[in-house]
Amino acid sequence: MGKPAAPTFARARGASYGGQARRTCTRPHLPHPPAPAAPARTCRTCRTCTCPHPIAPARTRPHPTCYSDPVTDPFLPLRDLDALEAALARAEREPIIIFKHSPTCGTSAQAWHDLSGWLATREAGVPAYLVDVRARRALSAAIAGRLGIRHESPQLLLVHGGVVRWHGSHWHVNALEVQTALEALTLAAQA
């Protein structure tokens, strides 16, 4: 006799193994593996919650009692198109910063911490607006379309006179590069 045929597997709808689709045997005589229990961990957003809820997958929001919009101080939140229009009207008179932030991205979190510390220490600051790109996808797309800069996250746009004067994404979103761009903009305005 030859070797027995290897079992074939198919994805079970709606089931998951730690974020991956669960595989179940298509041969009815083989037992199906049990689904693993979700481990209880602290909330990914606040990291201080002690409630025993499992962390939600990255594509959904974390536990509802722990989740809130990203801390916006010293950022001004941009939540809709009316707020965007008001911010761009303000950019006609003075430079503004628009920071596109993803609360589930480590690079974006690092940029957020760097920028928020820098903005908090400035006496005469530039208004800085924050867009949560996960919660406000349509607004993020509207910004990209309106200003003509392809969307990336994290992304920072320095806008003055209705025009993007400087933009950076990923590792270029840091206090040093933004400060340099602001100084260059100030020098250009004085010349």
What are the structure tokens assigned to 150, written together?
Answer: 């392809």
Residue 16 pLDDT grade (very low, low, confident, very high; cuts 50, 70, 90): very low
Confidence of residue 169 (pLDDT cuts 50, 70, 90): very high
Spatial neighbors of 35 by CB under 8 A, at least 6 apart, are: 15, 17, 22
Task: Specify whether the CB–CB gap between 168 and 177 falls below 8 A.
Answer: yes
140 confidence band (pLDDT: 50, 70, 90) = very high
Whose CA is closest to 72, among 6, 127, 5? 127
Nearest-angstrom CA–CA distance, 102 and 153: 7
pLDDT at 10 over 80: no
> What pLDDT digit, counting tens, does each position of 40-69 carry?
444 544 455 545 444 444 444 443 333 334
Helix ranges (H only) for 39-161 are 81-93, 106-121, 137-147
Distance from C-alpha of 131 to C-alpha of 138, rounded to nearest angstrom: 11
Q: Which residue has the higher pLDDT, 106 or 38?
A: 106
Which secondary-structure segment (H or E) carries 12? strand 9-17
Task: Quote the CA–CA distance of 137 and 3 in Å, as a whole number.
Answer: 53
Neighbours of 64 (CB within 10 A): 9
Residue closest to 55 by CA, chosen among 39, 71, 37? 39
Average pLDDT (12-41) is 51
Cα gap 175→68, rounded to integer Å: 25
Model pLDDT, residue 63? 37
Q: pTM (2 decimals)?
A: 0.62
Q: Which two tokens stand for residue 148?
A: 């003509």
Q: For position 93, what pLDDT does the model report?
A: 92
Percent of the chain whose pLDDT exceeds 70: 61
The mean pLDDT of 99-105, rounded to a whole number, is 92
C-beta separation of 158 from 149 below 8 A: no
Domains and CATH numbers, the chain: 21-68 (no CATH), 76-190 (3.40.30.10)
